[in-house]
Chain A
Amino acid sequence: AQKVTQAQTEISVVEKEDVTLDCVYETRDTTYYLFWYKQPPSGELVFLIRRNSFDEQNEISGRYSWNFQKSTSSFNFTITASQVVDSAVYFCALRANFGNEKLTFGTGTRLTIIP
């Protein structure tokens, strides 16, 4: 069975601070995909990133960066110099590779950026 744990239920930081959202996953599959989604107040989930299990290179996209560590089964997400527009619920998700497009989601982390 697959499982995704986001232990941080809610986080509040002051604008311009850096913040890291944690994601720990469990799977028996040797090949899998990890995702991060953002859900703003409008409700629609917005895709942020997908990582393959065989690619542990960290990624940076503007103020966003992701740290994938297979040894600790973690896929953490860092926002640098946070902005009010970053306030949202963030979900980490896991998908097995073969013929199975089901996503298993974590419970989400509500991030509030205080102006």
Chain B
Amino acid sequence: DVKVTQSSRYLVKRTGEKVFLECVQDMDHENMFWYRQDPGLGLRLIYFSYDVKMKEKGDIPEGYSVSREKKERFSLILESASTNQTSMYLCASSSPGASNYGYTFGSGTRLTVV
């Protein structure tokens, strides 16, 4: 069964800390994505990557960066965590072209910044 695995289900971090959220997929997908989900706002795209070492900004990249050194792993980095980054973070992967099944999502990481 194909999977996208996010390393942590729940995280609590302090304001100003550097935070790493890890995501690994086992489907050999080229594309990987980071979304954040907030009540009333749905899912908003932070960053995505079409290939190793490639990245593109999504709709809300401020305060975040990403790293993709290997095809299967896509990391989201909060350079200096702030309370307004408290949210649910969802990682996803997909294959190029017309994929019949859209994205495959991880279970999410609920991050609380205190």
Contacts and interface: CB of A to CB of B under 8 A. Distances in A.
Chains A and B are bound partners = yes
Interface of A: 6, 9, 33, 35, 37, 42-45, 47, 50, 52, 91, 93, 95, 97, 101-108
Contacts of A104: 45
A91 B100 CA distance: 17
A105 B103 CA distance: 12
A101 B94 contact: yes
Contacts of B88: 43
A43 B42 contact: no
Size category of the B interface is 20 to 34
Nearest to A4: B42
A95 to B, nearest CB: 8
B42 A107 contact: yes
A42 B101 CA distance: 20
B41 A103 contact: no
Contact of A47 (B35, B90, B101): B101
Nearest to A107: B42
Interface string B38-78: 00111111001010000000100000000000000000000
A42 B35 CA distance: 17
Contacts of B42: 6, 91, 105-108
A103 B102 contact: yes
Contacts of B41: 107
B58 to A, nearest CB: 7
Given A45-B90, A101-B31, A33 B107 contact: no
